[in-house]
Chain A
């Protein structure tokens, strides 16, 4: 949708919940990174927001974008929290999207050709056709 003005308050909160950090401790996180909560360690000592992330992911797997949506947090803030929780062993990720050649990681220009494995593209096509 379109940008819209936000009431005051959120910006300060974002700053606080990330401990003042703008960037996550790892840059491999994406909106569709799949997250699950680890059984241990116990969520003691976590900030309220980190506890909410862990609690949400305890019941099943969700993408990072879904976690942000359910908890009402901006994506950038969610990435910082999730990266911390991965560092502390509270959150684990499932394998990233298969067959994707990431030109950014290869230091290529963004306009470089992106390639997905033909097999995964066929799976997408088959899966969509099955919905009709």
Chain B
């Protein structure tokens, strides 16, 4: 009956009082799960959200069958940033059709890291468009896949039609330092953006 995880490490330190979240988004197979797993101090968890077009979960399940129901998986991990603060990373698909999930996910999120693949750059447009619609600031990290052509970042920036201030970095989602640097690029951007808004 009882449920106790195998390791005490699954729990937050007793001193933790505050939690923040960042979304890790991108198209299918871009490396979101790898990225979250590389940085997480806990075994990455997966949970699911059932979405219906009507947005009324149980009513749909109880009654009608013909409404569209989709299950979206969320991969997430955790980083303790200091004794009282943790950061959660949520890896989630960025398709427009999951907007209701997105609205919930982005509520209270610091920002998003968009993972992109140079072989499928155009697939990132929908993800970035959704973030812009929701007003969530983001940075873009090009996940370096083995065998993928290495493009100059200036070319990638142009191809993605990024704003001049949007950070664009390379990262290897399998590498902790590289992945951490991608998050640092996002955090530094959020801080500078905040300072600008302060003085606007």
- A residues near B, CB below 8 A? 1-6, 11-12, 14-15, 18, 20-22, 30-34, 48, 51-52, 55-56, 59-63, 65-66, 68-71, 73-76, 78, 94-98, 100, 102-104, 109-116, 118, 120-132
Say yes or no: is B126 at the interface (Cβ < 8 Å to chain A). Answer: no
B interface residues, how many (CB within 8 angstroms): 78
- On chain A, the residues within 8 Å of B58 by CB distance are 14-15, 18, 20-22
Q: Is the interface of A mostly helix, strand, loop or mixed?
A: loop
Sample (10) of A-B pairs whose CB atoms are under 8 Å apart:
A2-B73, A6-B71, A56-B4, A66-B10, A78-B47, A94-B17, A104-B103, A104-B107, A118-B191, A124-B81
Determine if B108 and A59 form an interchain contact, defined as CB atoms under 8 angstroms apart: no
Q: Is the interface of B mostly helix, strand, loop or mixed?
A: mixed
- On chain B, the residues within 8 Å of A60 by CB distance are 8, 10-12, 14
Determine if A48 and B1 form an interchain contact, defined as CB atoms under 8 angstroms apart: yes
- On chain B, the residues within 8 Å of A73 by CB distance are 47
Candidates B8, B50, B75, B184; contact of A14 at CB < 8 Å: B50
Give the complex CA separation of A116 and B3 in angstroms. Answer: 36
Determine if B194 and A116 form an interchain contact, defined as CB atoms under 8 angstroms apart: yes
Say yes or no: is B64 at the interface (Cβ < 8 Å to chain A). Answer: no
Determine if A12 and B61 form an interchain contact, defined as CB atoms under 8 angstroms apart: yes
Give the complex CA separation of A75 and B33 in angstroms. Answer: 18
